[in-house]
């Protein structure tokens, strides 16, 4: 009989893939990998502020991640060299977060859990928050799917169709910040971007249309969660990194399948 904590861990990981699958597809299509990194790294600052002010970690993380995402989205439309700006923001946010965390005696001990995740410590409350947040992200993406897809493929076509590309980018920004907030306890700030990108990149190798890629990314993410947890149990390795490692193995296999095809 599986232990209760393993069941909660698996359910939390599977719930998260409902958001990371379709959202990761847009991250790959829009080449927003560094955008995801900057938002995820800022989450550590949110964790430190949450401990300092005694508020929910999810609230603090969401607030800071959303602020970072909106900042990056605002700068992207002003002609800045985005790779440089994102690099500065991502590493600065992480550095300030680590410095702020050093002032919190209780947080210093647990910092690795927020950096690399601690899915095996997920509680029933965490499980509800993860599923609720992931469901909101999935619903938002499903609601705006056609508009997001059109704006991703061609912004001029989106404007001609009566869509506002900036509004579509804002929807993605909110979805990304919410995903970061609910996933930080599962895979940690340093691995969130990997869970967004690798399953989507894997599905891209075999998918024939955008919808198939989003569903495929969700399936690959779910398989990575289950394989990673199993590997962690058998090899006594950290669960969060093991999940990402399993996703990397699946990506490698997808490349081999594509070459043979």
Q: 133-151: per-residue pLDDT in tens?
A: 999 999 999 999 998 999 8
| CB neighbour class for 153 (10 Å; exposed up to 12, middle 13-18, buried from 19) | exposed
Q: Is the pLDDT confidence value at 249 over 90?
A: yes
Which pLDDT score is estimated for 134? 94
pLDDT in tens, 69-117: 788 777 765 655 666 777 787 788 888 888 887 777 665 556 777 888 8
Structural contact between residues 123 and 7, judged by C-beta atoms closer than 8 angstroms: no
Tell me: domain 4-188, CATH 1.20.1050.140, correct?
Answer: no
Question: How far apart, in whole angstroms, are the C-alpha atoms of residue 25 and residue 215?
Answer: 9
User: 153-163, pLDDT tens digit by residue?
Assistant: 888 888 888 88
- Distance (Å, rounded) from C-alpha 201 to C-alpha 41? 21
User: Does the model's pTM come out above 0.75?
Assistant: yes
**For residue 1, is pLDDT > 50?**
no
Exposure class string for 43-61: b at 16+ Cβ within 10 A, else e: bbbbbbbbbeeeeebbebb
């Amino acid at each position: 009989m599986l232990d209760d904590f393993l069941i909660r861990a698996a359910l939390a990981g599977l719930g998260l893939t409902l958001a990371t699958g379709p959202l990761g597809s847009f991250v790959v299509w829009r080449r927003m990998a560094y955008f995801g990194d900057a938002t995820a790294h800022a989450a550590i600052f949110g964790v430190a502020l949450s401990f300092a002010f005694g508020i929910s970690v999810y609230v603090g993380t969401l607030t800071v991640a959303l602020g970072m995402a909106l900042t990056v989205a605002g700068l992207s439309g002003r002609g800045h060299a985005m790779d440089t700006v994102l690099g500065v923001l991502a590493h600065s946010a992480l550095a300030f977060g680590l410095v702020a965390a050093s002032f919190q005696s209780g947080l210093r001990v647990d910092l690795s859990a927020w950096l690399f995740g601690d899915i095996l410590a997920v509680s029933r409350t965490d499980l509800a928050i993860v599923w609720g947040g992931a469901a909101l992200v999935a619903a938002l993406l499903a609601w705006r799917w056609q508009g997001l897809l059109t704006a991703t493929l061609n912004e001029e076509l989106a404007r001609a169709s009566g869509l506002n590309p900036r509004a579509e980018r804002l929807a993605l920004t909110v979805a990304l910040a919410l995903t970061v907030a609910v996933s930080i306890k599962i895979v940690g700030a340093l691995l969130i971007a990997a869970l967004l990108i690798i399953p989507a990149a894997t599905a891209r190798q075999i998918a024939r249309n955008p919808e198939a890629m989003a569903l495929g990314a969700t399936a690959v993410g779910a398989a990575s969660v289950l394989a990673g947890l199993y590997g962690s149990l058998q090899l006594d390795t950290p669960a969060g990194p093991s999940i990402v490692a399993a996703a990397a193995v699946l990506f490698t296999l997808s490349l081999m399948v594509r070459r043979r095809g």
